Amino acid sequence: MKFTDKSKENIKQEWNLLGSKYAFDVNEMVKFGETNGWENWKGEEPKDERDHLADAVYQLLKEANKNNTVAQFRNDFPPAHTPFIKFLQDKGQSIEQLHFINEQKVVFLVGTAYQKRQAYLLENDTIIELDDTISAIGKSKKNNVFAIVSNHKIVTTQGWQGEIIATFNLEKTKDLGITELTPFNDGHKTLLTTSEGIYIISKDAENMIHPVPDLEDEEWESDIDMENATISNDNNYIVVGDQCRDHRVLDNNGVEIGEVGPQSSYPDFCLFSKNDHQLITNSCHFYNGVTIGVDATDLKNINITAYEESEDYTVIDDGMRVYCGVATSKYYILGDAFGYIKAIDTNGNCIWKYFLGSTITSITISDDENTLWIGSASGMLHKLQLDKGLRDNHTIGNGNHYEEFRFIFWKEESIMKW
């Protein structure tokens, strides 16, 4: 596909005209629905009319990456999600296990737990490919301990590529695809989340802590769906759950001490606030869900009944199916199945929302809480400077954030920056 200067200018003008109109219309609709009630919205849902431009813009993006003119391209063509949906089925892949290292450096994996993964380091805007035997990467809640799985071993280090704290040889769990990996703050244990059980890995044991074996059922299997787990920041508590079982609260040895029942259908996410005063759990139904918060200052014997209104919990959000999130000193930032990230405080107030597209699969934030990196199932890794002002008028949402760039990791394509 060859482009003249005139054809490029025409594509650019149409892209910007239709893109800004679409963003404006969506933002106005959302504002109306949230102010007046969605039942009073009588208009049609806005439609992004740029599908016919996607092939040309995709080619121009490739050219810009080849010619090192991405900065100019980004100014001319603010990024979008909807026009590129047609590419995602064949090319998209998940960005997972994003972790902040320091300054403007993060590490992450491309691929899901059941695929051959590739690990990368992103420093500023430079991508570095890491050892292809790495199958999982985790970071502790405190103390900057990292864990890497490679060749059936977990190695924990003090800081990224720092002094080795411990090495764990995997036997029972060596062939399991790892959904999530969280080393304890001292680096001497790790929490291993897989679709065939959730484990505490220590120097001499691989103990499955979820699900609890049914010793009377001869056909019992440990396979679970929507497996999810977290550790409190002080490492006193572990929370585990899956599609078919309520969130279970455990002590740091994996002994159950309480339960938090879902207020939607299927438990699929959990997270502690940064100060450990609150635990949030999400349960979903299709692409929607309900997130509740419970007092986490004393979780012993907590028992929240499923599907029952109670003063023992706060409704944090009643719409999102949450896939990932981070806790900051001010609020949670949660990523959902519809491609939104939302900042919500411990009382359930939505501070801002920002649309990126596709399912949000991983989030990490800098220690100063100014920079956010977000990965999605579309194969895109976004870098946002929070509260720095909008970069263009194509932004959907009310978050006042500056997208520095997005990297695109598509199958059988070179990595592209936009």
pLDDT by residue for the chain (418 residues), tens only, comes to 788 989 999 999 999 999 999 999 999 999 999 999 999 999 999 999 999 999 999 999 999 999 999 999 999 999 999 999 999 989 999 999 999 999 999 999 999 999 999 999 999 999 999 999 999 999 999 999 999 999 999 999 999 999 999 999 999 999 999 999 999 999 999 999 999 999 999 999 999 999 998 888 888 899 999 999 999 999 999 999 999 999 999 999 999 999 999 999 999 999 999 999 999 999 999 999 999 999 999 899 999 999 999 999 999 999 999 999 999 999 999 999 999 999 999 999 999 999 999 999 999 999 999 999 999 999 999 999 999 999 999 999 999 999 999 999 999 999 999 9
Interatomic CA distance for residues 34 and 37, integer angstroms = 6
Interatomic CA distance for residues 393 and 112, integer angstroms = 33
Question: What does the pLDDT read at residue 110?
Answer: 98
- Residue 365's alpha-carbon distances to 20, 225, 269, 346, 402, in angstroms, are 28, 27, 18, 18, 14
Interatomic CA distance for residues 239 and 182, integer angstroms = 12
Question: What does the pLDDT read at residue 320?
Answer: 97
Residue type, 17: L
252 assigned to some structural domain: no
387 assigned to some structural domain: no
As beta bridge partners, residue 407 has 381, 417
As beta bridge partners, residue 154 has 149, 168
Question: What does the pLDDT read at residue 201?
Answer: 98
- Residue 399's alpha-carbon distances to 82, 255, 348, in angstroms, are 19, 41, 17
Q: What's the total number of domains in the chain?
A: 1
15 assigned to some structural domain: yes
155 assigned to some structural domain: no
Interatomic CA distance for residues 114 and 355, integer angstroms = 28
Strands 360-365 and 332-336: unpaired
72 assigned to some structural domain: yes
31 assigned to some structural domain: yes
Instruction: Please answer whether residues 254 and 207 qualify as being in contact, where contact means their C-beta atoms are separated by less than 8 angstroms.
Output: yes
Residue type, 266: Y
As beta bridge partners, residue 251 has 237
60 assigned to some structural domain: yes
Q: pTM for the whole thing?
A: 0.97
Q: Over pLDDT 70: what percentage of the chain?
A: 100
56 assigned to some structural domain: yes
Q: Is the dihedral of CA 35, 38, 43, 46 positive or negative?
A: positive
Interatomic CA distance for residues 112 and 96, integer angstroms = 7
State pLDDT tens for residues 50-92: 999 999 999 999 999 999 999 999 999 999 999 999 999 899 9
Instruction: Please answer whether residues 372 and 365 qualify as being in contact, where contact means their C-beta atoms are separated by less than 8 angstroms.
Output: yes
Full domain range(s) for residue 32? 5-76
As a whole number of angstroms, the longest Cα–Cα distance in the chain is 74
